[in-house]
Structure 1
């Protein structure tokens, strides 16, 4: 007499989409096993109560010793199942199928001892079939249908009927009709609860699977963008170097050297070319090239202060309020991806509000909070709803929205989050929260970093001596 009281639970929130799907299936199998265990305990308690009420309340004699022996075997099997559910090994369809067959066998034994096919609770077989349809593969479900049908037929052929008077004409006062009513109400109530909760959890599982697929698509998109950016950086290196040489030649020409205004423009052009070369170098560093130069030890406040100073001097911002309330400084390694993420947010805010920006840094518990505030038109409702999705932009140009898309993905990779909302007085606020554990150096990390730096320095020294010897 199994019953369903709890929904199937779905778990699994992993970083890699493929691993997430595998873990989701594994966790679902364990939750299904736990579900059957809970149903079995409910069945044990329900059968004990039913047997006692029928035997002593209705005065219908039942073989209590044999029926309690069956319940003891069911409880022992449930204890073994409980130990199995605690094992990290994947729960297979075969194990769930075997568990349901045991439930069918114990239900058949109890019905055989209490009237067989004439027992009003014989229709609890339907619950076993429904459980199989929800939890098992198709072939297993149909096997459950065949087994329960054969058990029903066997009970009709070989079991003894209950010693119940044929008083159906008494309506609800008939014990048999009362048993049928209880069985119907139990089946109906459990089916409603079970199916409703299962449907809700299946929808939640589908939503998680959709999220995993979306993340896989976004990661693939980022990889393609990284490859394109790396290739473009390589291709841009030569023309930028050529332009730098040409501008250097122009600076020495009499026509330019005698005209201060032209010299100023040439200097500005060289500065912008140098900035382009720095951007290209940053792309290559982010792609994993020239890794020996890609990181250096610093502190959180120093990193942010230098980033702000560099950004302020290279952007045409009129009024920029910067407030660093980080407090006690902590060591970290300069990260080009983190730097690019912050610059993307500042660039987007500057484009929306060229007259005024505010950048705040705060230390909240174990997290670093970066808040960018602007006085622009704010985000459209549709953009707020789909924030962080690629190509969601109000700028109306091809490729728009990729900056914030990358911001969200970098923050998510570091275990953080990005929150956005519009200000009542106009403008928008973008708040980035990052766990300090993802960016701050621990003592062991500092020692490893020092050893790595020392090893790189030794290798470079040996390489220099080797080149000197070859010369």
Structure 2
């Protein structure tokens, strides 16, 4: 799963289609021709029309070549996208240079390539495009043709305003670049995390389906295997006077026993019936924690009715995402616990609550409000990394757990041991991280109970 997410993150820079940039260029070409035509025909501005059209024609030529040489579905590499945006920046800067420079009201459009780079590219290419833009804008402030009317009137803004325009564009390049890059990174991280969530859920679903198939096969094969064992035993008893045939009969019985044991071990997950789809709440919690029971930490399970709850433990629908998510939360608690993890269950007529508490250091206070965000890094020191050297998840596990549980209707709260539902004097050891998961009882509780009739296999 980690490799797949890494591959997805690496491919983000190749999400830009060449045809997308070509269409944006056609829009820019249309706007530039309209602006030149209006300035020349309506406002009598003395432009070097041939030079302006030559500069615009360079973009037209680049677009035509791109359309002729490459297929419509061509996606650009990061370097190709960067060079394309640098070309667009240089073309616009050259057009501004012959039409007034920073005095041209359309100078602000030079920010567009930087914003696109910050959205589509990684940091280094974005910085390169931004530095090219800043350099060209600075040159425009020094070298540019003035805007002249046909009657010789010079159109120019005061120098202080021109300097202000230069500063504004530079700030815009930096601000828009950082802002767009930050938003883009958040979107990419969320996309990667959602991909990991889908993969985790698909894996859990496949394991559940496989367990059901194997368990059903074990159930259905039990009778013929028992028959084989019975017949082979009777044959062995009747072949006492023929040792070589008796050994074969005993071998058949032995292999039948082996088949039975193999199928039994493979089918422990249960059959595709009520045992698989519905189970007592505490049984589901134990199943979720099972992979972490032998990791050197004590995991204690507690279940009790809350106010208004019945003494009978509720049976819940065994959603694959529910089991996988609770397993992630228990894993996180075991990773950071010193000695003990508590898994508590409480129910009432309206809600079902699960709390996972450990006696570790708890969540860093600075990230409590951001827990559940993907790729959240809260530990950067060497000492902290040593406490959990086997993980590079950067909060991805908690994000997956939170997302999957919310799909089942749950609300999650993350806190430290001072949470209001824990009394420090009553539970002095539970001073670490606390995760509280609350479901509306109607979402996961089964009204039919945990058991039911097995469904026969269709023959």
TM-score (norm 2): 0.42
Q: Which has the higher helix share?
A: 1
TM-score (norm 1): 0.41
Relative contact order, CA 8 A, sep 6+: which one is greater?
Answer: 2
